[in-house]
């Protein structure tokens, strides 16, 4: 017995040692990514490498038309997005090998679609155009506030991401969100409907104030902070609607969720109107940018406000989905009650027939 136990202990020690080595390798990779994220923009400036806040940005209508606007190579952001996609893909393959239902193709497409939306917003020529055109900046905001967070959250990525981490790190990361732990308490507080809605709206309106907006256009680190706060608060905003892991709350009443989304629609419409309606330039930075002959800065501002205005109606889509799901569930419940009633009636009629037959036989 002792001779068998020793190899078992050695095997367990080897497994824990290999896990520890994997965790250390992962930590080194994460450290490299973090250093690159913090240091790379100092050498490759955002928005295509324009140097100072007052340097005009080149703009060519034909280049824009053919989608060949040169953009700055933000390797820091590309590394972060590649790491996020790589962890998910690793976990997806591991879970898929155990059970197809544990890792679905739909979830993979949704998650990678969300990462792709972040890439389009942050490292494609759209980011360069957002520094030159307010209307393009609004398109960028839609990707960060609606498309990317919805795609990622609809994939319910937490279990898959856990399986994408090395064993030791996986256990520690999952432990942060167990009952009574700080991570779970903080996430529970931030994803409550009043807190999530307030953080989302205050952040959105604050960054559209001319002072912060101008600062984001002039300094790369402020602009990066704006983008990540947009995405982070949007994730918090959509979390109570989608109710994904690691927090599963009891389903909120349909009316509460509809009011939550309608309030978001209203504030988004008001923000779009506040940008589109004024006949003065709110953000003078754009006035210094050479523009299209057919589109003046004030016209571009009106277009950008209109995009923000119209995008508010995108909140209606989840409302329609919620209502449709409720109607379908109610129809299914009604059909189940009808079937149960028919079966009960059939059983009752059968019993009465048998009683009559017994009475006749007597």
Alpha carbon 246 to its chain centroid, in Å, reads 15
d(CA 238, CA 163): 24
Determine the pLDDT at residue 24.
Answer: 52
The answer to the question of residue 64 being in a domain is: yes
CB 224 within 8 A of CB 38: no
How far apart, in whole angstroms, are the C-alpha atoms of residue 121 and residue 224?
11
Alpha-carbon Rg for the chain in angstroms: 28
User: What per-residue confidence (pLDDT) applies to 71?
Assistant: 44
| Tokens (6 digits) for 88 | 């998910």
Written as tens digits, the pLDDT of the chain (362 aa) is 444 443 444 444 444 454 455 555 555 555 544 444 444 444 333 443 344 444 444 434 433 443 444 445 788 899 999 999 999 999 999 998 887 777 899 999 999 999 999 999 999 988 888 888 888 999 999 999 999 999 999 999 999 999 999 888 888 888 888 888 888 889 999 999 999 999 999 999 999 999 999 999 889 899 999 999 999 999 999 999 888 888 777 777 888 888 999 999 999 999 999 998 888 888 888 887 765 556 788 888 888 888 888 877 777 777 777 777 777 777 677 777 767 766 666 665 555 545 455 554 55
Answer yes or no: is 102 within a domain: yes
Residue 7 domain-assigned? no
Distances in whole angstroms, Cα of residue 120 to Cα of each of 96, 112, 137, 142, 196: 28, 12, 12, 11, 25
Report pLDDT for 87. 95
Residues 149, 84: Cα–Cα separation, whole Å: 13
Residue-wise DSSP of 44-55: S-HHHH--STTP
> Which of 245, 112, 227, 137 lies closest to 191 in space, CA to CA?
245
Cβ proximity of 312 and 274 under 8 Å: no
- Per the structure, how many domains does the chain have? 1
Chain-centroid distance, C-alpha 228: 11
Give the span between the Cα atoms of 345 and 219, in whole angstroms.
75
Residue with tokens 């419409």: 269
Count of C-beta atoms within a 10 Å radius of residue 50: 19
pLDDT for residue 222: 93
Question: Which pLDDT value is given to residue 53?
Answer: 43
Go through 170-196 and write b for each residue having 16 or more CB atoms within 10 A of its CB, e for each that does not.
Answer: beeebeebeeeeeebeebeeebebeeb
Identify whether 1 is part of a domain.
no
Cα–Cα distance, 349 to 229 (Å, whole number): 66
DSSP output for 190-216:
HTSHHHHHHHHHHHHHHHTSHHHHHHH
Does some domain include residue 10? no
pLDDT value at residue 179: 85
Longest distance between any two alpha carbons in the chain, whole Å: 108
**Per-residue pLDDT at 55:** 42
The span from the CA of 160 to the CA of 139, in Å, is: 30
- DSSP assignment of 250-290 equals PPPPHHHHHHHHHHHHHHHHHHHHHHHS-SS-S-GGGGGS-
Rounded Cα distance, 354 and 351, in Å? 5
What's the whole-model pTM score? 0.72
For tokens 């017995």, the residue is 1
Give the contacts of 161 (CB within 8 A, at least 6 positions apart).
87, 88, 91
Is residue 338 a part of any domain in this protein? yes
Structure tokens at 267: 């504030």
Range of the structural domain that residue 183 is part of: 17-361
Residue 354 within any structural domain of the chain: yes
Structure tokens at 355: 């009683």
Q: Looking at residue 132, what DSSP letter applies? A: T
Q: 152: closest CA among 84, 199, 90?
A: 84
* CB contact at 8 A, 198 and 192: no
How many alpha carbons fall within 13 Å on the CB side of residue 180?
0
**6 within some domain:** no
């Amino acid at each position: 017995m002792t001779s068998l136990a020793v190899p078992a202990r050695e095997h367990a020690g080897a497994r824990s040692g290999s896990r520890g080595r994997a965790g250390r390798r992962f930590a080194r990779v994460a450290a490299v990514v973090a250093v690159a994220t913090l240091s790379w923009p100092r050498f490759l400036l955002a928005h295509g490498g324009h140097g100072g806040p007052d340097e005009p940005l080149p703009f060519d209508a034909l280049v824009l038309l053919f989608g060949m606007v040169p953009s700055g190579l933000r390797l820091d952001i590309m590394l972060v997005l590649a790491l996020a996609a790589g962890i998910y893909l690793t976990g997806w393959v591991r879970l898929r090998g155990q059970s197809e239902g544990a890792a679905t193709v739909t979830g993979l497409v949704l998650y990678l679609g969300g990462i792709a939306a972040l890439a389009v917003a942050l490292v494609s020529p759209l980011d360069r155009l957002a520094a030159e055109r307010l209307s393009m900046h609004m398109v960028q905001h839609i990707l960060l506030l609606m498309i990317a967070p919805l795609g990622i959250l609809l994939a319910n990525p937490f279990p898959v991401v856990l399986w994408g981490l090395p064993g030791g790190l996986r256990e520690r990361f999952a432990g942060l969100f167990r009952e009574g732990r700080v991570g779970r308490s903080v996430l529970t507080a931030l994803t409550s409907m009043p807190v999530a809605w307030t953080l989302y709206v205050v952040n959105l309106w604050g960054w559209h104030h001319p002072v912060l907006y101008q600062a984001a256009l002039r300094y790369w680190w402020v602009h990066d902070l704006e983008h990540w706060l947009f995405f982070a608060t949007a994730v918090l905003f959509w979390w109570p609607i989608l109710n994904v892991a690691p927090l599963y709350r009891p389903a909120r009443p349909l009316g509460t969720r509809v009011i939550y989304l309608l309030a978001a629609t209203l504030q988004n419409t008001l923000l779009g109107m506040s940008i589109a309606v004024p006949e003065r330039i709110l953000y003078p930075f754009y006035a210094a940018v050479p523009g299209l002959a057919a589109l003046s800065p004030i016209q571009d501002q009106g277009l950008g406000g209109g995009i923000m205005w119209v995008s508010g109606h995108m909140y209606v889509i989840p409302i329609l989905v919620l209502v449709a799901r409720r109607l379908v569930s109610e129809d299914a419940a009604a059909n189940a009650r009808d079937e149960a009633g028919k079966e009960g009636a059939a059983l009752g009629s059968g019993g009465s027939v048998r009683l009559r037959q017994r009475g006749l036989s007597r």
